[in-house]
Chains A and B, each alone.
Chain A
């Protein structure tokens, strides 16, 4: 063996010496790899004591090893392993073996034998554990080999009786990861296992260790069982009792694992029947497990409590009777039954009395309780959530709230019951919990109708100073059902109060009222005269149209009126006027109404509300047809082609406006066609027929066109999401054309040509797979001529380019499935204010920015705020990552502050604020697929395309009036 090993090593040595002579220096790096194992060998031989050897191994572990030399390294390590007397060195070697067998491209089956052999001779427990760990790694690397699997399981089984807990742990882990439930182990094993019952399957072996003396081993046994389950093995129900017993273990990690185990079993066998100890009754297993896990919510360790609370949320099969017990907590005072505050509130509501002053002894206990019936230790599920929601640790409370959410979503009656508790959570001391409970309430709000007193508590939170909380609450109100018209009034009142206190909430409040109105038209109806302050006999003064509160009321009323045709009759004249105005200015909040005698408005509305869902397909068809039409452009005369493009672009733009679903696609096409149009125009200048150097001066338009095309291509590439590599190739192609045009137009210089050729090369590299689709295109022709191009003079190159450009045709654009344009809308500042923001020059003023971003990927890194001062100065501000929130898919919200400053002005003036989308071409996701191992660094990559960085403005600029005053002395 040893001789064989030596030979291998020397072979590798010789490799190092010989091959450099034969091959090119470019491959030097790869060839020096075997020297790693050799170096290791030398190092280890040099090592005089164990500390040194350990040092060498540690150093070695930091460096990566390539797949092909792993085996050599492993041999050397093993050789040293046999010789080594020091435990720690052997331990390190064992761990290195595990690390090495993870190397990609290396198949570890060749070292299995050696690893198993070393096991049998090893005396040190720690090293043994480490070796088993290595085997575990190997076993998981080779999932497809049942023979090996069986062997490893046997090994694990043999070492299970070790006295060291670590070894037992690893054995159990091995069993969990590799064992099969059906295949018995211990067959040819003459070990003591046979005396205890012959053939046994993995599961029963593992379950034996549920009673191990070491808690770590017990945990490992439970984890191994869970692992078995995760691998899809069927766990038998017999271990349920054992698992339940472990719920009362002294150690928290055991209890935590046991909770999971019980949960798994309850999911596997929900309907089987288990007896209740100390009685003759029997219940379903899932109910029993639910009760037991509920019990764990008041465990001593908070980790277990979190685990238990989380787990409860996913036990949906539990019977409603048990579920409702989790919210039950019988109150008593001096042995007399007391009603909870929730019950009292409900009764108060039922008796028709709203909010009473609380009297002394209002909660005085009523009936005397029989001492025997009071159950202090709640058996089973009793009050689990009451405990969980009152827990000391907010992690537990959050887990409990989430669990409530899951359970409530599947059971309406439970949702009704847990409402009070959730509303109570709105008052938690930690904002995260409050926010979470508001979200949860929103999610289950389809099941519930809020009572007045409950609504009252909910609405109290509207005054919270945290914007997130308020907006979450608005969102909640959008989905809430309320029971009476008083509720509507209450909600409106509170929302108006909210609006008054925090004017920035305007949009959110309006939106909330829109939904409130459209959800409860009949409840709004009786309130209308009061809300609009109309009077049967007298004309009332016309309210101020710019008052946000008045708009809020109108939004509520109009949305209710949509499904309540009798309502408009109650409107006064100015209301109709205001309707027309609001319908125009806030069309997303005010729905179209059928107003009597308002034909005009009605007519307009019908047009707007015309396109239904069916028209999406027709629009899609239209889009496709337009594109097809454009493809015939080659056959047309120059002027005809331009006209056609012009027309199509106009069509597409209009289509985008009409069909919001297709806006992205239509826009994308239009922009692309515009590029083509520009290119065409630039190429058709009459001047082109002249000698190139002569026309340079006159050719300003063409230069501008080339520049514009370049910009547009960047927009095309980075502003739209959902592009496939085909489209990206097309875009890059256009860019290449623009660059060629630029080259033709500008001075002819060697460096420019070289750069252009580099661009062409990188294009070829990037889009190798797409090249077949680019038949007959500019690039195609260019690549044909490539050998000639790279050697010819700049002047010649220009000539070739000129002709190729003119000859090449338009590239057909294929549309991807989904394409969206990134957009941003600045909500705040609105740009309507006439009052300048005054501040002392030289100091800063903070400007609040609130914007919504749609279809922006990774906004934290790409979105910037630009501030343009009237003197042309411009600042780009990077918002903090924390300023972005994600209220929905593809939607982001930016709430940030930018700091403005300037020297003194004599007059107030406007600055412009807009959002920019930053891009950099090097970050394009479509780089060549990385096939590099973990060892290769980036240097071996071909020189990357010089990164182009820039920004695209993608929101409308908002003007802000500011006035820096000179500092007073």
Chain B
């Protein structure tokens, strides 16, 4: 039986370092090639030696597909392609291809320039790596080689995020990457058609969460900001540069517009400006509202949001500032926080999760006195708010996607084992399909039952159609006669005559003959006539002929009568039929064995 093998090198019962190997129909595909945020050593990158101990990966992989630009999905790409060695095609969507190198470069700078690591990929390597990238469009079927084809679907999550449908022959796998089933202010919801893949590989970050409606959160957020501004306070929103930041910007921008507010909004960091540029360009990847209105005005051309300058932090009056990084652990957001922390009119809104140990985490837990470096303490008087804006599908969303795609098997990655366990149970219960959750390095094998396509000759098909009833019933299988020819990797179903002709064979007639003894006192000719009349009365709707040479022919069945040598009353009937008429022939022989009814003259 053909098999599909899936092996996560990263993201198996874990979040981060997404890298999944799939072998399907003899093709090897790598899905995502990410890094792990939590490690600074070799564990940072997936273990490519699993694929091959020595040498390059090109021979072992047919293609690499990157789902979106987050570093835990693409961070190890230059390392793999340039340092380990891979020259095959890399597929990603246009926005991902545009934004990915910016993030990689940023990542490289931090690791090499700030932390001083050596033996890391260089800028040139990033460039070389990006040269191998082939961009994908949504819903475009790309033929990687003759048999392998891939198709991208919209996934929400971040700009350019895609789910990929990988197909070899009739076997297929869908990999979701990260996706979001609820639309937000700048992106739409993930969508896939009923492609019925053999395996659906889904992320499961929020496997055990069902979230509240987005609107409540948005309204809360806006209300908080609005109230604070009206009081004359300053609002600090620490964000990571890409993704959520844009969503919040749009949210505030439209709110400002609607409510006619005048207080300035600032956005720090140059990285975002570059990324914003791409958001402006890839309008087709955004949600309905932005797509519909960009002709009048591109929503990413912010009217109220301006670039931040360090000196603005001391300006009097209300303002809103987006600053990086998101957990208040360093950089500009921390500086601004220190300046504003003393005033109770001010507010800080944490829009995402904060790792333990960061200032963000401390203040969220209600700590009001912070110890800074150099023994200084900081009184936190400003208001601290928490708003969760996350762009992963929750448990309901995952189930919804399963319902959309109708997979035969399910495979969970990118989540915690305990949570996966719960979802796995639910999936198996609701959909009664198998669900797998392999750990890193563990291989899941799924046997498939692929359908084998066979060419059928049109004549044969029409002939068989004509035999059938009038009502089409696609659900019911139908038997038909024909000859299957296997020639040079192709299968053909043709009528037997044609098969004989094609193969240059002569047709062999196969006839069955049998003798039936019959007690009948009449002469041979009379007996034959009696048989003829008997059959005529029994077999209605069949052509029965009484030929002058002393035979009765029913369709192709020949019946002859001769008296037995010993007893003239015992007649020997000779029946002969071709194998096509086996049914009728055997029926006749058993009928005649019963003898002739006496009433026939």
Contacts and interface: CB of A to CB of B under 8 A. Distances in A.
Is A bound to B?
Answer: yes
Interface of A: 160-161, 163, 191-193, 195-196, 208, 211-213, 250, 298, 300, 329-335, 338, 340-342, 357-363, 371, 374, 376-378, 383, 386, 389-394, 421, 424-425, 427-430, 457, 460, 463-466, 501
A376 B215 contact: no
A457 B219 contact: yes
B212 A390 contact: no
A376 B402 CA distance: 12
Closest 6 CB pairs of A and B: A341-B216, A392-B183, A192-B470, A360-B364, A424-B215, A213-B474
Contact of B469 (A192, A331, A425): A192
Contacts of B216: 340-342, 424
Contacts, number: 142
A465 B261 CA distance: 9
Nearest to B206: A333
A211 B473 contact: yes
Interface string B198-237: 0000000000111111111111101110100000000000
Given A335-B208, A357-B383, A358-B385, A377 B288 contact: no
B260 interface: yes
A465 B260 contact: yes
Interface string B427-451: 0001000000000000000000000
A137 to B, nearest CB: 27
A943 B404 CA distance: 66
Contact of B217 (A161, A196, A250, A341): A341
Contact of A427 (B222, B287, B400): B222
B197 interface: no
Nearest to A359: B366
A471 to B, nearest CB: 15
Nearest to A334: B208
Contacts of A429: 185, 254, 289
A331 B211 contact: yes
A651 to B, nearest CB: 53
A160 B399 CA distance: 40
Interface in B470-493: 470-475
Given A332-B208, A371-B422, A390-B214, A430 B289 contact: yes
Given A213-B472, A389-B213, A429-B185, A465 B257 contact: yes
B585 interface: no
A362 B472 CA distance: 61
Nearest to B293: A430
Contacts of A340: 212-213, 216
B84 to A, nearest CB: 37
Most interface-central of A196, A298, A429, A457 (chain B CB within 10 A): A429
B351 to A, nearest CB: 13
Contacts of A501: 260
Nearest to B395: A376
Interface string B337-365: 00000000000000000000000000011
B360 to A, nearest CB: 10
A371 B213 contact: no
B132 interface: no
Contacts of A193: 470
B287 A376 contact: no
A357 B404 CA distance: 40
Given A335-B419, A377-B430, 17 more contacts: A192-B470, A196-B469, A208-B471, A212-B474, A250-B194, A333-B210, A334-B208, A357-B383, A361-B364, A376-B426, A376-B430, A394-B288, A394-B289, A429-B185, A457-B219, A465-B258, A501-B260
A392 B222 CA distance: 20
Interface residues of B, number: 61
Contacts of B419: 334-335
B288 A392 contact: yes
A92 to B, nearest CB: 29
Contacts of A464: 258-259
B223 A460 contact: yes
Contacts of A250: 194
B109 interface: no
A371 B209 CA distance: 12
Given A377-B430, A391-B183, A394-B288, A358 B209 contact: no
A918 to B, nearest CB: 32
B474 A427 contact: no
B287 A463 contact: no
B567 interface: no
Nearest to B421: A371
Interface of B: 182-183, 185, 188-189, 191-194, 208-220, 222-224, 226, 254, 257-260, 287-289, 364-366, 383-386, 395-396, 399-400, 403-404, 419, 422-423, 425-426, 430, 465, 469-475
B194 A300 contact: yes
Contacts of B403: 298, 377
Contacts of B399: 376-377
Contact of A390 (B215, B465, B471): B215
B396 to A, nearest CB: 6
B474 A360 contact: no
B150 to A, nearest CB: 20
B106 to A, nearest CB: 29
Contacts of A191: 470
A360 B365 contact: yes
A421 B189 CA distance: 20
Contacts of B194: 250, 300
A420 B364 CA distance: 28
Contacts of A393: 288
A249 to B, nearest CB: 9
B384 A460 contact: no
Contact of B182 (A196, A374, A390, A425): A390
Contacts of A342: 216
18 contacts: A160-B470, A191-B470, A192-B471, A195-B469, A196-B469, A212-B472, A332-B208, A333-B208, A334-B208, A338-B210, A341-B216, A358-B386, A360-B366, A361-B365, A376-B210, A427-B218, A429-B289, A463-B260
A161 B183 contact: no
Contacts of B220: 341, 358
A495 to B, nearest CB: 16
B380 to A, nearest CB: 12
A217 to B, nearest CB: 9
A330 B260 CA distance: 36
Nearest to A365: B209
Contacts of B224: 358
Given A360-B365, A391-B183, A464-B258, A331 B471 contact: no
A938 B192 CA distance: 56
Contacts of A361: 364-365, 386
A610 B188 CA distance: 62
A424 B193 contact: no
Contact of B213 (A192, A358, A424): A424
A352 B443 CA distance: 57
Given A390-B182, A393-B288, A463 B212 contact: no
Contact of B259 (A332, A428, A465): A465
Nearest to B384: A360
Contacts of A376: 210, 395-396, 399, 423, 426, 430
A437 B599 CA distance: 89
A939 B340 CA distance: 81
A392 B470 contact: no
A374 B430 CA distance: 12
B214 A331 contact: no
Nearest to B462: A163
Contacts of B188: 392
A392 B257 CA distance: 22
A350 B423 CA distance: 36
Contact of B212 (A213, A331, A394, A465): A331
A329 B216 CA distance: 13
Given A341-B217, A394-B289, A429-B185, A330 B472 contact: no
A464 B255 CA distance: 9
Contacts of B384: 360
